[in-house]
Every structure is written in structure tokens, then in C-alpha cells.
Amino acid sequence: MFFEDIKLAVSSLLANKLRTLLSLLGMMIGVAAVVTILTLGDSASSSITASIASGGLDTVTVFPTTGEATTEEFTEQFGVTLQNEISGLATVLPINRSTALVRHEHESGTYTVMGVPSTYAETNNYDVAVGSFFSSLDNMNRQQVIVLGADVAADLFPDGNAVGQVVSLYRNKAKSYTVVGVMDAKDAGYTASYDSSVFIPYNTYVQRFSKPRVVSQYLVKIADGYDTLQVSDDISAYLDSIVGSDGYTVFSPATLAEMAEEITGTFSSFLAAIAAISLLVGGIGIMNIMLVSVAERTREIGVRKALGASPQVIRGQFLTEAFTLTLLGGLVGIALGTVLSVIVTNVVGWSLDISYTGYAVALGFSMAIGIFFGWYPAMKASRLNPIDALNWE
Amino acid sequence: MEHEDIGQAVVRLDAVKKYYMVGEFVVKAVDGVSLAIAQGEFTAIMGPSGSGKSTMMNLIGCLDVPTGGTIYIDGEATSGMDEEELAYLRNRKVGFVFQQFNLLGKLTALENVMTPLLYRGMPSGERKERAASALERVGLRDRMLHRPNELSGGQKQRVAIARALVTGPSLLLADEPTGALDSSTGLQIMEEFENLNNDGLTVVLVTHDQSLGMRCRRQIRVRDGHLEGGGEDVL
């Protein structure tokens, strides 16, 4: 019976192709809007998350406050203290940074100079393009070696072949550093603009380049099996007790990623809810067309009743028709929304993240609308008096 | 009882009334009619328009429910039945043939004839088989896949007859079945009813046409909602 109803519904929808299309337009636009918004929301969210995650979701950076609130607590040794006090820290790397003029022959520029341990590149998933990152021995011996970010290398060595060359770093007076490596390009994170930085051993930095009062930042790598957000909270709690909440800032990409995800999620849900209103409007269009369809086929309903169709059967027939109509609208809308999402993500440059939730919501919603708005016309058809229906002109 | 010799009554009306309100007036379309139609009869319900004969047909066919009195179909009282039960009864017991054919325009002749069987939940293959044989019986074997708009008036009415027959009803109810046909085609349709009746089918023909009515074995005359004659003699 259901199969027969579907056949009947399809043939009756095909009999009025233009009308079917027009009555579905509102519905299709609504579904397409919901799917597009949810898919774009997901895509935006995962793109943002990916860019945040490039800084390493398992890292937390602690910035001592500079200026008046600076305390003397934040020494190189403090990294070890931190690691001893808080569980779940794989490594704590003290990092110093400042800016300086860097020159090679006639090329020069002002770049960020980072004094980092030899494990810095590995901790940050930061790859070497040519040569190598300096070693722990270089650090221990305060060697005057330097690794260049991709843009720095391109600026100072337009012809390439930087490794083995000597550059000058200006801090009061010029000092010579030997280039041992050039890094791959890497998108700037929240704690470093990798490509426009140069990297020298931590000990070289504090002994030979500039002796800072406190460490600029501590790069903390969370150990496997620990929750970054939890450990980040632990660090904050500990630092609160040592220097007070004004004395430091803790930054963790995971916190930011979660925040970004929450914001885009809330935002796209909000937009989808607005788009769902257009689905509702589309549903009213469906009801309208179903009422027309029932009125038009009054005589047919009378004949079917005379032949023994019960009210339930008639109701089923028209409900199936409304359901088929909205299912069709839902599927076309999903297709439209997907195409639109593909186009937009391509133009904006996000990676496409299909929202299957969006598909399910849109399809479920459109079927619910079919049943909800089809119910009244179907009831009306089922309650027609057979004689009146048969005599209807 | 006295009419046992002509078999069980397929239809029995017992003091049946149908009153309508039209504005402030009560129209007594059928006013206390009692009659019985026996198995195998060929009966004409005759009367001028407005006499109440169509209302009577609707009541007999279970398309309408009486205001008073009781209707029995195959010995079963229909009073108190709801729409579902009446639909079931129409589907099993009554075959309708209308003046305007009332075929479903989007369906082929075969699909039209299959439709009543659909409401029994019969599987498609069996429906098709039965519908085809019903169409063969009315001589439309080669027109099965045509739609109503590709058929002549006489052919349409034959499809309608096949649709009424296909369920194996106890009663064939025809409401002015020749009214929309030219006279020679009308006669052919009338012959079709006669043949069906000769095969044992109970036929009730509603008509205002005297000559058509007189071809039936029994005439029931209706005027102003009352029987003028032909109703009581079998009770």
C-alpha cells in the first residue's frame, strides 16, 4: 500500500511539474541555507582550529609580564621548578626574544631574535629545510651559530646557499654568527612569527647577545596522556600562588581552539536557526499546494471512497504525497547547499568539512514539515463526504 | 419466510428515512421506505428527478447513512457503522457504475479496474490478473493499457462495469449508466447488464428513463421520497 501510495504521489507530482517545483522552492532554499550554513560553520571552525593547532595543541606558553609587574621569579631555572611542581609536563623550554638588525653583505633587515634550546624546532614541529638546527653542544658551548627563518633567508640570501655563511647581529655592536640551517616556511603562530625570526642557542643569547632580567617565555610541552586544558589550568593555579595573576599570562592553543570552535558553533547554530524559519515558510507553501491538490481531486477522492478506500487510506495517500514532496525538496536542497558550500569554501580557501549533522537536520526537518503541514490537507481529504465529493464539479 | 423462494435479500430497507436541512426547511428525500431486493434480481428504481431515487441509491450503496430506519446488506445491518466499516462494506459488497463513468483520468483502464482491489491489500500480480479478466469479460481486452481519454463513451462505461465487477460484489448499483451515451451505445450497455444478471448478479438500475426501466424484471417507482409501487410485493 505504501509503495502504491509513493507511485501515486510521484505520478501526481510529475503531472504538475512546474507547480511542484514552485511549491518546493521555499523548501529547497531553506534546506540549502541550513546545509550551507552548517557546512560553512564546520569548515570555518576546522580551518581556524587547524591554524591554531599548527602551534601545537599539546603546547602551552607562559609569558612573564614585562614592565612594572615583572618579578625576579622567572629565571631559566624556573622552567625546571615548573616541571617539578606540576605533573604532565614533558619539557619546559625557556625562550628569550628581542629584535635586532641582521646583515649579510649588502642585505639587512630587522628581525625577531629568539634564544632557544636545541629542542625548540622539534617541540614546535618546525622542520629544517637546509642544514640543521643547532645542537645541544652548540648551546652548552655558547657557540655563535644561527638558524634563519624562511623569509629571513630569502631576504639576506637572495641567491640561496645561506648555510656556512656568516651574518652580523647588531646589539650595541655587531657580532658574527655562522648560519647552520634554514627552516621551512611555517605559518605564524600565536607565540612566534617563525618565518621572520632567527634562532640562536639559548646560552649564546644570554651570555653573548643580551642578558635579560627575566625569561621572555616558557614553551611547555604537555606529556602524552595528559589533557592540555587541565594542565594549563594547573599551571595557572600554581603561578597564581607564586606571582599572582598579574605576573604572567598563560597561552594554550587548545584553549583558543576550543573557544574558536565554541564561537563558530554557536554562531552557525544561530544562523541555521534563522534559516530554519525559511523552512517553516516553505512548509506553509507545501500545505497550501496540498490543499489545492485535495480540492482539485475532490471527485477522485469521492470515486476512491465509493470503491472502498477508507478515510485512513485516503489520508495515507495525501500524507505520502506531502511527504514525498518535502523529501524531494530536502534532497534537492541538500544538493544545492553542498554545491554552494563547495564553491564558497573554494573561494574563501577553507578546507571543506561536510556537515553530516546539517544533512540529517535538514532532511529530518523537511520530512517533519511534510508530515506536519501535510496532515491537515490529508485529514481534510479523508473526511470528505463521499456523495459531496462524487458530485463535485 | 414468504420470500425464501427467491433467495436471501441482498438489500433490505426497513422504514428508512433521509432528511436534509436546506436552510430552515427539512427536505424529506427518503421518507419511510421499506423494500427488499433479492439475490439475482434485476431491479429498476425509477422516478422523476428530485423524487429521491438518487438518495435511495446512495443509501443502498452505503455512500450515505439514513436519518432513521435500518439498511441491511447481505443480512448485515449497517446502522452504527463508522466510515471505515462502511468503506469495507462498499469494497466487498457493492459495485458502482456512474452516469459520468468516474474513471481516474491518470490511470490506464487496467489500473482503474485494479484500484478497488488495492484497498483490499491484494498483491499487485493478483490484482492485475483479476482486472485483466474483468476487462476481458466486458470485451476490452485490447484496450487495457489505454487511458480514459483514449476511449469512447461506451468503452469508458465498460471499464467502469469491469471495475464494479472485479471485486465480485453482491450487488451492482448503476446510476443512470446510459445517461451520457448515445442510444445505440446505451442499449449495448443495457445488454451488458442483462448478461451479467443472467449470470446471477444482482443488478439495481437507477433511472428516470421509462423504456430502460421497463426492460428490467422489476420496477420500483419513487415519488417524493415514497414508494409508489414495486417495493412491497417482495416483503
- Domain at B108, CATH number: 3.40.50.300
Flag whether B222 is in a domain: yes
Domain assignment of residue B59, yes or no? yes
What pLDDT is attached to residue A210? 83
Three-state secondary structure of B16-65:
EEEEEEECCEEEEEEEEEEEEEECCCEEEEECCCCCCHHHHHHHHCCCCC
The CB density around residue A388, as the number of other CB atoms within 10 Å, is 11
Q: Which of A19-28, A249-258, A332-341, B93-102 has the lowest mean pLDDT?
A: A249-258
Grade residue A178 by pLDDT with cuts at 50, 70 and 90.
very high
Q: Which residues of B touch A9 (CB under 8 A)?
A: none
Q: Find, in chain A, the residue whose alpha carbon is nearest to that of B105.
A: A300
Residue A378 confidence class, pLDDT cut points 50, 70, 90: very high
Residue B5 lies in a domain: no
Q: At residue A238, does pLDDT exceed 80?
A: yes
pLDDT value of position B230: 66
**How far is C-alpha B83 from the chain's CA centre?**
19
Residue B1 domain-assigned?
A: no
Average pLDDT, chain A: 87
Instruction: Name every chain B residue with its beta carbon within 8 A of the beta carbon of A304.
Output: 104, 115
The count of domains in chain B is 1
Owning domain of residue B180? 42-65+90-234
| CA B151 to each of CA A11, A345, B45, B110, B128: distance values in angstroms, whole numbers, following the listed order | 21, 57, 29, 13, 20
More confident residue, A357 or B190: B190
* Residue B170: alpha-carbon gap to chain centroid: 10
| Number of Cβ atoms within 10 Å of the Cβ of B127 | 22
* Extended strands (E) in B23-180: 25-38, 42-46, 68-73, 76-77, 94-97, 171-175
Cα gap A116→A341, rounded to integer Å: 43
In this prediction, residues A132-144 reach a mean pLDDT of 91
Question: What's the ipTM?
Answer: 0.91
Q: How confident is the model at residue B110 (pLDDT cuts 50, 70, 90)?
A: very high
Question: With contact defined as beta carbons under 8 Å apart, do A378 and A301 qualify?
Answer: no
Cα B97 to Cα B106, B134, B164, B187, B207, distances in angstroms: 19, 14, 7, 15, 12
pLDDT category of residue A253 using cuts at 50, 70 and 90: confident
**Of A129-143, A299-313, A341-355, B33-47, minimum mean pLDDT range:** A341-355
pLDDT of A69 > 70? The answer is no
Among residues of chain A, what percentage have pLDDT more than 90?
Answer: 30
What percent of chain B stands above pLDDT 70?
94
CA nearest B41: which of B61, B73, B11? B11
Does B24 fall in a domain?
Answer: no
Q: Look at residue A275 in the predicted model and tell me its pLDDT.
A: 81
Q: Cα(B20)–Cα(B29) distance, rounded to whole angstroms?
A: 7
pLDDT at B5 over 50: no
The beta-carbon neighbor of A303 closest among B58, B87, B104 is B104
Q: Is B19 on the interface with A (CB under 8 A)?
A: no
B163 CB within 8 Å of a chain A CB: yes
Span A99-125, average pLDDT: 89
| A300: nearest Cα among A282, A318, A287 | A318
CB nearest to A310's CB, from B83, B116, B167: B83
The answer to which of A31-45, A57-71, B14-28, B197-211 has the lowest mean pLDDT is A57-71
pLDDT tops 70 at residue A68: no
pLDDT tier for residue B231 given thresholds of 50, 70 and 90: low
Instruction: Assign B1 a pLDDT band (cuts: 50, 70, 90).
Output: very low
Q: How confident is the model at residue B4 (pLDDT cuts 50, 70, 90)?
A: very low
Q: For A168, list phi and psi in degrees, rounded to 5.
A: -110, 135
Residue B23 forms part of a structural domain: no
- At B19-31, the pLDDT tens digits run 988 888 888 999 9
pLDDT digits (tens, 9 = 90+) for A36-54: 888 888 888 888 777 776 6
Q: Does residue B28 fall inside a structural domain?
A: no
Confidence of residue A70 (pLDDT cuts 50, 70, 90): low
Look at residues A116, A113, A150, A114 and name the one whose alpha carbon lies nearest to residue A136.
A116
Chain B residues within an 8 Å CB radius of A300: 104
Phi, psi of B11 (to 5 degrees): -130, 135
Is the CB of B102 less than 8 angstroms away from the CB of A1? no
φ, ψ at A103 (rounded to 5°)? -135, 140
What percentage of chain A carries pLDDT values higher than 70? 97
